[in-house]
């Protein structure tokens, strides 16, 4: 696989809401290994763009391709592809009723059919890389903003995505 493989291609993407049109003819392509930042004032469509990519919003027009396969034509496809396009939300969206470990292992167990022991081992390894192994049994309310963010990143990494979308990736 070449290092310059195009993973994501966006063509003529548009999104209209009832009273705004944040995305108008947006085009871009993202190659494996590239890091791309989208910068702009509040309310200009950055989150909407990311949400269209993994289909949390339905685009009004245009096409999105993941490794050459169109993902805008058939909503069913995105369920499978969403596992390859991870997202770290602006507010992190950790499950408040689950501890850190459960937050991380639930999706790999449900969607990737990892057994609990393997999912846990992998989660603990990832937690070690962000120096939060000691928080595995804590609940999200017991963490600082920066710690929640690192857990949200680990939760995404545990699914082994090919692309990660970060919405406002700063520590709050
Ligand atoms: N679900 C929605 N329904 C209606 N309008 C929305 C919705 N989501 C976002 N918008 C509008 O789209 C515009 C872009 O919002 P957003 O993508 O959140 O901007 P940013 O992330 O750059 O701050 C804003 O005018 C916002 O009010
Ligand atoms: Mg935003």
Question: 89 in a domain, yes or no?
Answer: no
Which ligand 1 atom is the nearest neighbour of the CA of 168? 21
The last residue of one of the domains, among 45, 79, 113, is 79
Per residue in 76-97, pLDDT tens?
Answer: 788 778 889 999 988 889 999 9
Instruction: Kindly state whether residues 68 and 11 are assigned to the same domain.
Output: yes
In this structure, the answer to whether residues 117 and 156 fall within a common structural domain is: yes
107, 72: one domain: no
Whether 127 has a pLDDT exceeding 60, the answer reads yes
Residues 10 and 75 in one domain: yes
For residues 124 and 111, give the distance between their C-alpha atoms in angstroms, rounded to a whole number. Answer: 19
Same domain? For 67 and 22 the reply is yes
**Residue 169 confidence (pLDDT) above 90:** no
Taking CA atoms only, the protein residue closest to ligand 1 atom 20 is 43
Q: What tokens were used for 56?
A: 């949390």
Give the pLDDT of residue 139.
Answer: 98
Write down the pTM of the prediction: 0.89
Q: Does residue 74 sit in the same domain as residue 104?
A: no
Atom 3 of ligand 1, residue of closest alpha carbon: 17
Same domain for 70 and 40:
yes
| Position 140 in a domain | yes
Is 85 contained in some domain? no
Lookup result for tokens 């919003």: 57
Q: How far is it, in rounded angstroms, from Cα 157 to Cα 99?
A: 17
Question: Which atom of ligand 1 approaches the CA of 40 most closely?
Answer: 22
For atom 6 of ligand 1, the residue with the nearest CA is: 17
Cα–ligand 1 centroid distance for 133 (angstroms): 36
Provide the domain count of the chain: 2
* Nearest ligand, measured from the Cα of 15: 1
For residue 131, what are the domain limits? Answer: 100-166
Half-sphere exposure in the Cβ direction for 93 (13 Å, CA): 8
Q: Does the residue 48 lie in any domain? A: yes
- CA–CA distance, 152 with 62 (Å, rounded to integer): 30
Q: 31 lies in a domain?
A: yes
pLDDT score, position 100: 98
Name the band, by pLDDT with cuts 50, 70 and 90, for residue 134. Answer: very high
Band of pLDDT at residue 2, cut at 50, 70 and 90 = low
What does 51-89 look like in DSSP terms, one character per residue?
HHHTTSS--SEEEEEETTEE-SS-HHHHHHHTTTEEEE-
Contact predicate 161/86, CB 8 Å: yes
Confidence at 32, pLDDT banded by 50, 70, 90: very high
Report how far ligand 2's centroid is from the alpha carbon of 167 (Å). 6
What's the pLDDT score for residue 171? 55
Ion ligand 2: residues, Cβ under 5 Å: 46-47
């Amino acid at each position: 696989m070449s290092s310059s493989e195009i993973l994501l291609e966006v063509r003529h993407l548009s999104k209209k809401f009832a009273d705004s049109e944040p995305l108008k003819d947006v085009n871009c392509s993202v190659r494996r290994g590239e890091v791309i930042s989208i910068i702009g004032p509040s309310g200009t469509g950055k989150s909407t763009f990311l949400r269209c990519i993994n289909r949390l919003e339905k685009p009004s027009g245009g096409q999105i391709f993941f490794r050459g396969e169109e993902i805008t034509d058939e909503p069913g496809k995105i369920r499978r592809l969403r596992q390859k396009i991870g997202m770290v939300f602006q507010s992190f969206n950790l499950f408040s009723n689950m501890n850190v470990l459960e937050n991380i292992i639930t999706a790999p167990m449900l969607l990737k059919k990892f057994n609990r022991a393997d999912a846990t081992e992998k989660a603990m390894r990832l937690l070690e890389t962000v120096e939060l192994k000691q928080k595995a049994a804590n609940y999200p309310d017991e963490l600082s903003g920066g710690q929640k963010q690192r857990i949200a990143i680990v939760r995404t990494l545990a699914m082994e995505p090919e692309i990660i979308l970060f919405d406002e990736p700063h520590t709050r």
